[in-house]
Amino acid sequence: MSDLTPTSSQAVVTDRPDPAECRRLLATYLRDHRAAGGAGLALTRRCRRSNDGTALGRTLAEIENELIEDLRTLTGTMERLGVTEAWFKQFVTRGAELIGRLKSNGRIWRYSPSSRVLELEGLMAGIVARRGLWVSMRTVTPPQPGIDEATLDRLIERATSQIDRLAPEHQHAASVAIGAAPFR
């Protein structure tokens, strides 16, 4: 037997992925990110409103505008690819964001310093996930129709910038909630 002949225990992979299956998986992936992005925007707005008039509020206002643009870009990409939005997924993720407001924060009616910490952690997690979306879309070879590589590069850089801007705010919020630092 030749060394090039597979044995019965070796798998032979000669098939390329089924294009229809890849398209279906891409559509699901984009719908999931679109739904999560809507919940992330709602969380950003709520956190910004709770921190109006502060340095954090100003940072969140900038990021909120960027998130709106990101969602428009994602929606436009989906439209160009013929992917419809999944309204049910958006409803579920928005509902999960609303339920997240019911968490115990040590205060019944007022915003808590621990709320700020948890919200910033949620925002940063969403941004990391969205950055992963843009990186994944950037690595597709050949590029999918409707996906501009230069735009994806800009979106990756912007998500990285958002994380970089929120990280020190999170550290400060944690020191306020857990330590003795005054909120600025």
Q: pLDDT digit of tens for each residue in the chain (184 aa)? A: 455 555 555 555 556 678 888 888 989 999 999 999 998 999 999 999 999 999 999 999 999 999 999 999 999 988 988 888 766 555 555 555 555 555 555 544 556 778 899 899 999 999 999 999 999 998 875 666 667 888 899 999 999 999 999 999 999 999 988 876 565 5
CATH of the domain at 58: 1.20.1260
Asked whether residue 11 is domain-assigned, the answer is no
Asked whether residue 6 is domain-assigned, the answer is no
pLDDT tens digit sequence for 121-158 = 999 999 999 999 999 998 875 666 667 888 899 999 99
For the beta carbon of residue 47, count every other beta carbon within 10 angstroms.
Answer: 22
**Dihedral sign from CA coordinates of 47, 48, 54, 59:** positive
Cα gap 86→24, rounded to integer Å: 13
* Domain, as residue range, for 96: 19-178
Percent with pLDDT over 90 in the chain: 48
Q: Which of 21, 44, 38, 23 is nearest to 87 (CA)?
A: 38
Number of domains composing the chain: 1
Cα gap 18→83, rounded to integer Å: 18
Asked whether residue 161 is domain-assigned, the answer is yes
Asked whether residue 2 is domain-assigned, the answer is no
Asked whether residue 9 is domain-assigned, the answer is no
Cα gap 57→63, rounded to integer Å: 10
Asked whether residue 3 is domain-assigned, the answer is no
The three-point CA angle 173-131-45 to 5° equals: 45
